[in-house]
């Protein structure tokens, strides 16, 4: 494969089956690049958008991890599992879903929209007492889990064919769609688990613009979907800098910013390319991450 830029992002359409770690390992081999990370894990049974950070862009992944995520999902009413998804063992089962009308189901999903506190699944990577919850669950134990605040920006039912309910959701990072299905089933009194999950977007990055996992060794396909650091971080406030200011940032020195620049994390762009990410305070930008050599 010809040489890729030193830093950038590759949106990949992950199929169901491999873990996010598996995808990173495949990408390292296909792209012949050791420094590869990602901006948000997908469960093995899930498919969809995985945004890979390549080369120096691995240092920028934190600035994309908090972008809202969008999913298409299907939940199955009447069954709960120990993992809250189809990969687990069935714990409870009932046919009471047959007594639910579509209006009641829609109301239960609509009630999830907004800010809420969510308990993570036992089979998750959250830590309790320094240990991953899934490690504790595999020992056959349950522990108390602390609910965390998440935001459901939108939730729309797209199909009801009971016991299955399809929906589309956009939510804050850290939201477990498995927990959404579990809690809706509980609210309806019949239980539920997540049957299918596909991530369709991470902020402005959409799965329609991703490369298939088995095409990662196709240089032209990768180049077509390549996202430069400047474009990937376009959601951040930005300032344009000249060559002298670029040199100053590379040397770790602060630079003055235009008076209208607000405080906070800001991207510094030189000739349209991302030079650095810094903190603006008191009229100057102090570099935090410098991307150029």
**Phi, psi dihedral angles at 175 (to 5 degrees):** -80, 130
Task: Give pTM, 2 decimals.
Answer: 0.92
- Candidates 43, 84, 85, 183; catalytic one: 43
pLDDT at site 119: 84
Can you list the residues of the chain whose pLDDT is less than 70?
1, 124, 133, 137
pLDDT at site 124: 67
pLDDT at site 251: 96
Which residue intervals of the chain are DSSP H helices? Answer: 20-31, 102-110, 133-138, 177-188, 219-225, 229-232, 243-250
Exposure on the CB side of residue 56, measured as CA atoms within 13 A = 16
Tell me how far the alpha carbon of residue 214 is from its chain's centroid.
21
Looking at every residue in the chain, the average pLDDT score rounds to 93
Check if the beta carbon of residue 275 is closer than 8 Å to that of residue 241.
Answer: yes
Which structural domains are found in the chain, ordered by start?
7-67+204-231 (3.30.2350.10), 69-202 (3.30.2350.10), 236-290 (2.30.130.10)
pLDDT at site 126: 77
* Tokens describing residue 253: 């020195």
The CA distance from 170 to 69, in Å, is: 6
pLDDT at site 137: 66
43 part of the active site = yes
The answer to whether the bond into 163 is cis (omega within 30° of 0) is: yes
Check if the beta carbon of residue 134 is closer than 8 Å to that of residue 124.
Answer: yes
Helix, strand, or coil (residue 121): coil
pLDDT at site 20: 94
pLDDT at site 202: 96
């Amino acid at each position: 494969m010809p040489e890729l830029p030193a830093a950038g992002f590759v949106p990949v359409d992950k199929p169901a089956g491999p873990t996010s770690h598996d995808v990173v390992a495949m990408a390292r081999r296909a792209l012949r690049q050791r420094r590869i990370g990602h901006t948000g894990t997908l469960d093995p049974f899930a498919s969809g958008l995985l945004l890979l950070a390549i080369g120096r862009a691995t240092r920028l992944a934190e600035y994309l991890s908090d972008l809202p995520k969008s999913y298409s999902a299907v939940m199955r009413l009447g069954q709960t599992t120990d993992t809250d998804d189809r990969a687990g063992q069935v714990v409870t089962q009932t046919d009471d879903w047959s007594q639910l009308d579509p209006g009641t189901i829609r109301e239960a999903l609509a009630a999830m929209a907004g800010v809420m506190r969510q308990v993570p699944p036992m089979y998750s990577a959250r830590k309790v007492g320094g240990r991953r919850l899934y490690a504790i669950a595999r020992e056959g134990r349950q522990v108390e889990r602390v609910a965390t605040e998440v935001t459901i920006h939108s939730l729309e039912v797209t199909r009801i064919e009971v016991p299955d309910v399809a929906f589309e959701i956009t939510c804050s990072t850290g939201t477990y769609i498995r927990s959404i299905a579990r809690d809706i089933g509980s609210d309806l009194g019949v239980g539920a688990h997540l049957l299918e999950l596909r991530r369709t977007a991470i902020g402005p990055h959409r799965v329609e613009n991703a490369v298939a996992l088995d095409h990662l060794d196709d240089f032209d396909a990768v180049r077509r979907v390549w996202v430069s650091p400047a474009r990937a971080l376009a959601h951040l406030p930005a300032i344009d800098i000249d060559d002298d200011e670029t040199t100053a940032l590379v040397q770790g020195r602060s630079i003055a910013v235009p008076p209208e620049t607000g405080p906070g994390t800001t991207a510094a762009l030189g000739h349209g390319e991302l030079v650095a990410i810094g903190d603006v305070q008191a009229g100057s930008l102090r570099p935090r991450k410098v991307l150029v050599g």
